Structure 1
Amino acid sequence: MSRHHETEPNPGRVALHDASEDWNRVGDQALFYWDSIANIPRALAGYKKETLRLIAEISMGTGALAMIGGTVMVVGFMTLFTGGTIAVQGYSSLSDIGVEALTGFFSAFINVRIAVPVIAGIALAATIGAGATAQLGAMRVSEEIDALEVMAIKSVPYLVSTRIVAGMVAIIPLYSLAALASFLASRFATVVLYGQSSGVYDHYFSTFLIPTDILWSFVQAIVMAIAVMLIHTYYGFTTSGGPVGVGVAVGNAVRASLVVVVVVTLITSLAIYGADGNFNLAG
């Protein structure tokens, strides 16, 4: 009995060990992020062709999936239907109090500040991010990353920093497409489906569409792209456990990046619009 009691784990010691492991993991992740960002100049200088290839792959997809599964199509369709939904909900809600003419304001305000950034971030995590995790994870379990190191090719600049640069470059036209798709869908739903005068819609839309809001929205999208690429490349780069481990890494990365997308939206909204909303609804 005494020998049995001696071999039982101490709950306090186990909890302390788990907490230490969690902090070590956070430290490793932070060091990986720093190393990846610090190696961006090296990636731009030494791996230009790889960076261009990744930009094309991220934007349009490859093979048969390029027609329906490329990031352009996914982001475009998601924001298109989101913009239409905002117009439908906005017109229906505003018509209840007799101010359906303000649907254009509704579209200009919500699409730019909330809907398009969040939906674009989710689409990035589900397409660009998940693909990067799967690619790097497959390379890790098949020992391709180790082979690169043996050939004196630094794996972080070649595999990670290039993907971060590609994500930052690709997000600009992708986000432009997303914003345009949401604007067009909102106008189509309001003017064509509900029959509102196009002049009324365009007047309120252009009146309340603040150019600086669009610029801040682009900044938010770039920050999201960097965060998504950092998270997904980390989970892919540190994959273990064979093919099953790749699937686990993709799931963990998607969950983490979805949380980060919402957190980035909250933080940027507080930073930009928290003190002064830069908005006046007046006649």
Structure 2
Amino acid sequence: MTLAQIGKFGRTRRQLSAFSRAVDDVGNRILFYIKAIAEIPGAVTRHPGETLRLVAEISMGSGALAMIGGTAAIVAFMTMSTGSTIAIQGFSSLGNIGIEALSGFLSAFINVRIAAPVIAGIALSATLGSGATAQIGAMRIAEEIDALESMAVRPVPYVVSTRIAAGMITIVPLYSLALMASFLAGRFTTVVVFGQSPGLYDHYFSTFLNPVDVAWSFVQALTIAVLVMLIHTHYGFTATGGPAGVGAAVGRGVRMSLIGVVLVVLLVSLALYGGTGNFHLSG
């Protein structure tokens, strides 16, 4: 066998080994997700105090950051900014063709179907998800998770499943706050800043605000919350390499969860609105 053949064989072997490790990693990740979701009912019943503590910490924050750093404040601020931006751009663009009266339609249509789910998912990833990765990663490198196992406490239900359950519990009021913030910001910008008639704005807003779209928007938000928590808890649970490794795990978790958020919104939008759009505009 020549040196070129030996080198080619070595490269092929390394590529196959890397592919095998990637497949193993995907399989281990899926098994972790299934186990974490399956353990949610038992985790809530066995550790109700921990679940309630996580609900309070996730929604309102803790310590000095409780007033400005909680997930509720971040989600509300980001969706409020998005609602205002949609109102500004919508009023200006529609005004160019003389139909600025339909600004309320844009707020009811875009916020519910696209903007609010995406922005809420980004906020959840940046606050709820990254915090979970950092906390669990710190427990891992400090050997606290190993200590739980030595005390006959299963770490996945206590550390992971309780956080997923807390995220599922808090997402409904958090997303309700997000939608209300985007709606109010859009109305304030259009009516107060641009001077449109409140009755005109409310008429088109209520006409095109479909309750079915709102319900599906909540389904998207719940799916995004579960996905974000699964991704971030896995990265935290498998963190290695000390504090630097935890920081790297947070970065990888944020990148992966942001991709997941966009994919969820894209796939749900294609499934629900890709054909007819469930929308009719007529004079």
Cα deviation for residue 277 of structure 1 reads 1.5
Write the distance in 2 (CA, Å) between the matches of 1:268 and 1:58. 26
Cα deviation for residue 276 of structure 1 reads 3.0
- Match for residue 246 of structure 1? 246
After superposition, the C-alpha distances for 1:168-209 in whole angstroms (9 at most, x for unaligned) are: 010000000000000000000000111111111000000000
RMSD: 1.6
Cα deviation for residue 6 of structure 1 reads 7.0
**Alignment length, in residue pairs?**
282
- Match for residue 81 of structure 2? 81
- Match for residue 124 of structure 1? 124
Write the distance in 1 (CA, Å) between the matches of 2:204 and 2:231. 40
Q: What code does the residue aligned with 1:264 have?
A: V
SS of residue in 2 equivalent to 1:74:
helix
Write the distance in 2 (CA, Å) between the matches of 1:54 and 1:280. 43
- Match for residue 255 of structure 1? 255
Q: What code does the residue aligned with 2:153 have?
A: I
- Match for residue 164 of structure 2? 164
Cα deviation for residue 9 of structure 1 reads 7.7
- Match for residue 26 of structure 1? 26
- Match for residue 101 of structure 1? 101
- Match for residue 15 of structure 2? 15
SS of residue in 2 equivalent to 1:275:
coil
Q: TM-score, normalized by length of structure 2?
A: 0.97
Cα deviation for residue 8 of structure 1 reads 9.5
SS of residue in 1 equivalent to 2:67:
helix
* Long gaps (5+) in structure 1: none
Cα deviation for residue 7 of structure 1 reads 9.1
Write the distance in 2 (CA, Å) between the matches of 1:178 and 1:140. 33
Cα deviation for residue 275 of structure 1 reads 2.6
Q: What code does the residue aligned with 2:187 have?
A: R
Write the distance in 2 (CA, Å) between the matches of 1:94 and 1:210. 21
Write the distance in 2 (CA, Å) between the matches of 1:276 and 1:36. 37
Pick closer, same or farther for the CA change 1:214–1:57 going to 2, 3 Å: same
Cα deviation for residue 282 of structure 1 reads 1.2
After superposition, the C-alpha distances for 1:104-144 in whole angstroms (9 at most, x for unaligned) are: 00110000000000000000000000000000000000000
Identity fraction in percent: 64
After superposition, the C-alpha distances for 1:1-39 in whole angstroms (9 at most, x for unaligned) are: x99x97998111111111111110000000000000111
Superposed counterparts of 1:195-274, under 5 Å = 195-274=195-274
Write the distance in 1 (CA, Å) between the matches of 2:56 and 2:67. 13
Write the distance in 1 (CA, Å) between the matches of 2:214 and 2:71. 21
Write the distance in 2 (CA, Å) between the matches of 1:35 and 1:276. 38
Write the distance in 2 (CA, Å) between the matches of 1:54 and 1:272. 33
